Amino acid sequence: MDRPASRAGVDAAAFRSAMRQLAGGISAITVGQDDDRTGLTVTSVSSLSADPPSLVFCINRSSSSWPVLVRRRTFAVNVLSPAQIGVAERFSGRGGAKGAARYEGVRWSRLVTGTPVLRDALAVLDCEVEELVERFGSAVVIGRVVAAEVRVEAAEPEALAYWRGTYGILRL
Amino acid sequence: MDRPASRAGVDAAAFRSAMRQLAGGISAITVGQDDDRTGLTVTSVSSLSADPPSLVFCINRSSSSWPVLVRRRTFAVNVLSPAQIGVAERFSGRGGAKGAARYEGVRWSRLVTGTPVLRDALAVLDCEVEELVERFGSAVVIGRVVAAEVRVEAAEPEALAYWRGTYGILRL
């Protein structure tokens, strides 16, 4: 069962196949405001520290959201429920929607930074960029959380997740 | 619905409540070898880049695994299935097992670095530490993947996840 690869590294296909086995909760990252807004879908949001409240996510620096994030230095995490697969799809770029068009069809509000947050998300976290750790073609974004709200917890007994390249429903 | 917090930051309780809404796939991180081995359970593993194959996870620097990780500079990610809740529990420190005692009761093997990998995990990724980004009381660990294997994919139609403070089963 053990087939050691070269110490120099593993090939990208084997890496991707292994990573597909790891499930991830889905968040839409919103960036910018008004006409200068866009965003992306990620499974990489994680808590970094509760003191100060901070989180991380990973972004490919070829993403259309990257230059807006660098310029605005604020973003929000919108934790999605199964009812919001459409938001996940639009923010992942499927269907071709770009920029502000990704925001159509659902309701948004604001907390502190002014970045749009999804009204009916499971939870939203409004963040300022603490640091952009640029490595390889990607970046680890470290965000300082300036506001956070749980939204539709009682009404929603399921979470939206991504696993083996497709959406799944998580129940407790 | 919008109750803006102070721009200075959100309180830790509100932050934790919001983060509990985000589901995460569960991995056991193994660190060290032989008697000098320990590990931890995380939901924070994410792909960073496929070129070169690299991933990140977050660790509290008060974790018992932190000094071993700093010394060894290698670790492995073991993606857990629902059959491995016991591993998740032991590696999270529940029940009091420490160090090598966390490895009892299941079968391990090795790939390239010598760090133990779980034989029946969904997938395993053997890594060298590329960089430890120490921020606040935590660290973002950037790992270069030197070997990766999918293990029991065909036999396991469910993933193990963590949501709202408890384990959940993810189905497609």
- Report residues of chain B scoring pLDDT below 50: 1-6
- Interface contact A4-B111, CB threshold 8 A: yes
Which chain A residues are Cβ-neighbours of B45 within 8 angstroms? 22
Question: Is the torsion defined by CA of B124, B129, B135, B137 positive or negative?
Answer: positive
Q: What is the C-alpha separation between A82 and A167, in angstroms, rounded?
A: 9
Q: Is A80 helix (H, G, I), strand (E, B) or coil?
A: coil
Which chain A residues are Cβ-neighbours of B17 within 8 angstroms? 123, 148, 150
In B, minimum Cα distance to A162 occurs at B172
In B, minimum Cα distance to A112 occurs at B4
pLDDT band at A171 (very low <50, low <70, confident <90, very high): confident
- Interface contact A48-B57, CB threshold 8 A: no
Q: What is the C-alpha separation between B53 and B74, in angstroms, rounded?
A: 15
**Residue B148: per-residue pLDDT:** 98
Mutation target to probe the B interface, by most B beta carbons within 10 A, among A2, A3, A22 is: A22
Structure confidence by residue, pLDDT tens digits, A131-167: 999 999 999 999 999 999 998 766 678 999 999 999 9
Report ipTM (2 d.p.). 0.94
In sequence order, what are the residues at sequence separation of 6 or more whose Cβ sits closer than 8 angstroms to the Cβ of residue B71? none
**Residue A62: CA atoms inside 13 Å, Cβ hemisphere, count?**
3
Peptide bond just before A52 cis, omega within 30 deg = yes
Specify burial of residue B132 (Cβ count, 10 A radius: 0-12, 13-18, 19+): middle
List strand residue ranges (DSSP E) for chain B, in order: 24-25, 27-33, 36-42, 46-50, 53-60, 74-79, 108-110, 116-118, 123-135, 138-150, 158-163, 166-171
- Interface contact B111-A25, CB threshold 8 A: no
Structure confidence by residue, pLDDT tens digits, B9-26: 799 999 999 999 999 999
Chain centroid to CA A158: how far?
A: 18
- Interface contact A149-B27, CB threshold 8 A: no
In A, minimum Cα distance to B113 occurs at A7
Which chain B residues are Cβ-neighbours of A5 within 8 angstroms? 111-112, 146-148
The minimal CB distance from B135 to the residues A60, A119, A142 is found for: A142
pLDDT at A2 over 70: no
Q: Could you give all domains of chain A from N- to C-terminal order, each with its CATH number?
A: 24-152 (2.30.110.10)
Phi/psi for A90 (5° steps) reads -65, -40
pTM higher than 0.80: yes
**Residue B9: per-residue pLDDT:** 77
Block residue for tokens 């100060």: A52
Specify burial of residue A1 (Cβ count, 10 A radius: 0-12, 13-18, 19+): exposed
For the record, the structure tokens of A82 come out as: 């199964």
Which chain A residues are Cβ-neighbours of B15 within 8 angstroms? 47, 50, 53, 125, 145, 148
- Interface contact A5-B140, CB threshold 8 A: no
- The amino acid present at A151, given as its one-letter code, is R
Q: What is the C-alpha separation between A167 and A99, in angstroms, rounded?
A: 23
Cα pseudo-dihedral B103, B151, B65, A148, rounded to 10:
-130
Residue A18 near residue A81, CB atoms below 8 Å = no
Structure confidence by residue, pLDDT tens digits, B130-149: 999 999 999 999 999 999 99
